[in-house]
Amino acid sequence: MDKIILQRMEFFGYHGVFPEENKLGQRFYVDATLMFNIQPAGVSDNLEKTVNYAEAYYTIRKIVEEKPFKLIEALAEHIATSLLDTYTIINEIQIRVTKPHPPFDIHFEGVTVEIQRKRASG
């Protein structure tokens, strides 16, 4: 399946279980892979036949920056659901949310949650 990939988008959000995370906030990285047939857009050169990735970016940004979640799992789920609801052309979606600096004393590149969702068959 064809893909549009929005890679390593950086946002500032207030997600976490601990009160200081909700108060101070931190950086989050989001990757979104949108899977659908891109050929109609490629053949026609028509934006109406694809997903406007600038609009998708702003949808993701609004979710990450405006509504706090305790779990990055919930954040990823909300992003996936919102994009699938908004863009009915998308058949499948993969969302990765990385929290590069979780609040515990371990030194690594962060923690990432990755989910993959398919459009429900009607």
Q: Catalytic site residues?
A: 99
Beta bridge partners of 4: 34
Report the alpha-carbon distance of residue 58 to residue 70 in Å, rounded: 22
Report the alpha-carbon distance of residue 90 to residue 84 in Å, rounded: 6
46 contacts 52 by C-beta, under 8 angstroms: no
Sheet holding 92-99, edge to edge: 3-13, 26-35, 92-99, 111-118
